[in-house]
Structure 1
Amino acid sequence: MPIQASEIEALIRESFPDAQITVQGDDGAHFAALVVDASFKGMNRVQQQRAVFAALKGKMDGSNGELHALALTTRAPDSA
């Protein structure tokens, strides 16, 4: 069963409840997500993205994963 953008957002939101999250994609397998969260402050991009992928709880695990591709952009909020 294909995964929906809303399901991806819900999984990410469990780990990042205060984040600004935008998930786009409608083919059930390929998505793009933007996650902006204060917890990313001081982390490099690899650390940020690993944290988000961990929140997906195996949905991208190899050929058995429901989510085939996720173009992920992460950052801490601007401190203006």
Structure 2
Amino acid sequence: MLLASDIEAMIREGFPDAKITVMGDDGQHFSAEVIDQSFTGKSRIQQQRAVNATLKTAIDSGRLHALALTTKAPE
């Protein structure tokens, strides 16, 4: 079973300087907000694909069933 802290750790590997907030308590459904400078000038789709790449193993294995993802560059 995944914990919010597990999701955060996976995202943190790809975005070590990001502000990351992950919520969820049922082990499969989570929401996350990732704010990172590397998102500057990128579309939301590009941003979300980059975050999803850090979670590929959990998604492909079915351990992560659903993630509501918000991404943005710092203001």
TM-score bin (small chain): over 0.9
Please, which runs of 5 or more residues in structure 2 have no aligned partner? Answer: none
- State the shift of 1:65 in Å: 1.5
- State the shift of 1:60 in Å: 1.1
Which stretches of structure 1, 4 residues or longer, exceed 2 Å deviation after superposition? none
Please, which runs of 5 or more residues in structure 1 have no aligned partner? Answer: none
Number of residue pairs the alignment of both structures matches: 75
Q: How does 1:39-54 map to 2 (within 5 A)?
A: 39-54=38-53
Q: Distance in 2 between matches of 1:37 and 1:59?
A: 21
Q: TM-score, normalised by structure 1?
A: 0.90
2:18 alignment counterpart: 19
1:67 alignment counterpart: 64
Larger Rg: 1
Deviation track 1:17-68 (CA, whole Å, cap 9, x = no partner) reads 000000000000000000000000010000000000001132112xx31000
Question: What is the one-letter code of the residue matched to 1:66?
Answer: R
Give the structure with the higher percent helix: 2
1:35 alignment counterpart: 34
Q: TM-score, normalised by structure 2?
A: 0.96
